[in-house]
């Protein structure tokens, strides 16, 4: 038998429901208001916001001063190192380095040959010109190495690649002894010591490759260069720099 409710009872139920809904709405509004209400004692309004910003700025200044006076941790990067990193990144050297090799490459570039290597990298993009030995006219391989050594350390090398390889002031070294600033030689014209570049570290060297190209960095471990490598030579860069263009290293 179906239940029958009187009109009066239905009105009471409806009123009770509205009361419940009204209570829930009031509770939600109270929670939202509590969430946005600042803690007791907090100043509000424009003055309070200004005071809060001043406190945040003071805290930031205090943290900056603490970082400035804190001693550098071992292995931390100095501003000078950042400059080198930015230079190598801009030139695309680090992006081409093998995983984990970037830090080693940076370390190797910052040794006694760093000035010579960074000087060489400043000429990335200069066009290849057969017989060229200047930025204006372009470089060939030996013109490039000769220009870099003379400009950066005052050592005047012979003009041709094979003559540089045979120069008595340079020491022949093995491939596993290579350091940044060493000259590396290749057989690219069916002739020993027919091409030369400057080793920059992590298996890479910078050179002026061929007609139609420009000064760039390549990997000696690539098959083309690996099978054509014919030797390396090292100059006493410290002695050359100390001589300042005088003595047997300069001619």
How far from chain centre, in Å, is Cα 170?
Answer: 32
Q: For this structure, is 24 an active site residue? A: no
Count CA atoms within 13 Å of residue 194 on its CB side. Answer: 9
- Closest by CA to 124, choosing from 58, 235, 204, is 204
- Catalytic annotation on 207? yes
Q: Which of 27, 141, 147, 168 is catalytic?
A: 141
195 is catalytic: yes
Catalytic one of 24, 27, 168, 195: 195
Q: Of all helices (H) and strands (E), which one includes residue 88?
A: helix 79-90
Residue 172's beta-bridge partner residues?
233
The residue among 120, 203, 195, 188 whose CA lies nearest residue 164 is 195
**What is the 8-class DSSP label of residue 155?**
-
Strand partners, 214: 127
Of 24, 147, 168, 207, the active-site residue reads: 207
Radius of gyration of the chain (CA): 36
- As a whole number of angstroms, the distance between CA 238 and CA 161 comes to 22
* Residues tagged active-site: 141, 195, 207
């Amino acid at each position: 038998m179906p239940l029958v409710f009187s009109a009066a009872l239905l009105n009471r139920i409806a009123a009770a429901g509205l009361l419940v809904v009204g209570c829930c709405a009031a509770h939600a509004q109270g929670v939202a208001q509590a969430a946005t209400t600042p803690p007791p004692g907090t100043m509000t309004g424009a003055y309070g916001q200004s005071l809060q910003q001043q406190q945040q700025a003071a805290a930031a200044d205090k943290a900056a001063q603490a970082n400035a006076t804190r001693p550098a941790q071992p292995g931390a990067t100095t501003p000078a190192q950042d400059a080198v990193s930015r230079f190598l990144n801009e030139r695309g050297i680090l992006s081409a380095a093998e995983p984990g090799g970037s830090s080693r490459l940076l370390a190797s570039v910052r040794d006694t040959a760093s000035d010579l290597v960074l000087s060489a990298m400043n000429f990335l993009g200069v066009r290849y010109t057969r017989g060229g030995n200047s930025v204006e006219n372009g470089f060939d391989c030996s013109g490039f190495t000769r220009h870099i050594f003379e400009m950066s350390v005052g050592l005047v090398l012979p003009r041709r690649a094979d003559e540089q390889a045979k120069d008595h002031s340079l020491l022949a070294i093995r491939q596993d002894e290579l350091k940044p600033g060493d000259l590396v030689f290749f057989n690219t014209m069916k002739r020993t010591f027919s091409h030369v570049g400057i080793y920059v570290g992590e298996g890479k060297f910078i050179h002026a490759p061929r007609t139609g190209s420009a000064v760039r960095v390549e990997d000696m471990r690539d098959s083309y260069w690996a099978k054509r490598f014919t030797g390396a030579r090292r100059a006493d860069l410290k002695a050359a720099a100390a001589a300042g263009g005088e003595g047997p290293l300069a001619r």
